[in-house]
Structure 1
Amino acid sequence: MASFTELEVWKQSRKIRIWVSALAKRFPSEEKYRLGDQIIRSSRSVGNNIAEGHGRFHYQDNIRFCIMARGSLSETLDHLMIAVDEKIIEQSALDDFQLEYDSCLRLLNGYIQYLKKKKVDELS
């Protein structure tokens, strides 16, 4: 692929980032620089790591950045669970996010497996 923007996993991570950003803007002011800032940073990190990995020369580097993206995706889910526990958002918002999370996680895991296969093929 010529650009990371063509990757379905990056497109899904972008969708998540936009959704999370809109949600965090509705957080109460006392959470703006606490949970709001953390959740925005973790959601941005998913796509950032996918993009950075795509720009690397070796498959192993790309895999490493995709694993970091997966960690950021899980961190974002945890932040939303905290938001539910703290009664900042409704459970329904978390349920909506869970669908997007599951989709992104499947795409990310599939992309990692694809990269691992390409790495093995390159060594053969």
Structure 2
Amino acid sequence: MNFENLEVWKHSKALSCELYKDLKNLRDYGFKDQITRSGLSVPSNIAEGMTRESEKEKFRFLSIAKASCAELRTQIYIGIDINYIDKVTGEKWLDLTRLIAAMIEGLMKRIQTNLLKP
């Protein structure tokens, strides 16, 4: 399966780009580095997982992508609370992380079904 055709990869890549663009002037380099890394991890792990040969490996990398999405969501909440991220932008990003996580979960269920086939 070509990861570049997956809507979940497209959404997560776009979100990662938004994070980098919107936070480029943030001077808290530790926070900026952490949030951009977790955002970058989501599409990267989707891509890596979907190019693996075994269903088990695909599932593992999607699991990592989903966890990175949860990490990103947490950092967005914190960024909103400490006024690094505008509330409207943050809410949009939170909605996107929820959508992306649900889409990853759907892929994982499909792969899990394949793993259970004899």
Q: TM-score, normalised by structure 1?
A: 0.88
Q: CA deviation at 1:58?
A: 0.8
2:53 maps to 1:57: yes
Q: 2:76·2:94 contact (CA, 8 Å) conserved in 1?
A: no
Matched length: 118
The alignment-based identity, stated in percent, is 27
Q: Give the CA RMSD over aligned residues.
A: 1.2
Once residues 54 and 11 of structure 2 are traced to their aligned partners in structure 1, the CA distance between those partners, rounded to angstroms, is 23
Q: 4+ runs of 1 displaced by more than 3 Å?
A: none
Q: Which residue of 2 aligns with 1:9?
A: 8
Q: 1:24·1:39 contact (CA, 8 Å) conserved in 2?
A: no
Larger Rg: 1
Q: 1:118 aligns with which of 97, 114, 117?
A: 114
Q: CA deviation at 1:101?
A: 1.2
Letter in 1 for 2:45: N
Letter in 1 for 2:83: K
Q: Could you list the runs of 5+ residues in structure 1 that have no partner in the other structure?
A: none
Q: 2:66·2:104 contact (CA, 8 Å) conserved in 1?
A: yes
Report matched runs for 1:61-80 at 5 Å: 61-80=57-76
2:44 maps to 1:45: no
Q: Could you list the runs of 5+ residues in structure 2 that have no partner in the other structure?
A: none
Q: CA deviation at 1:90?
A: 2.2
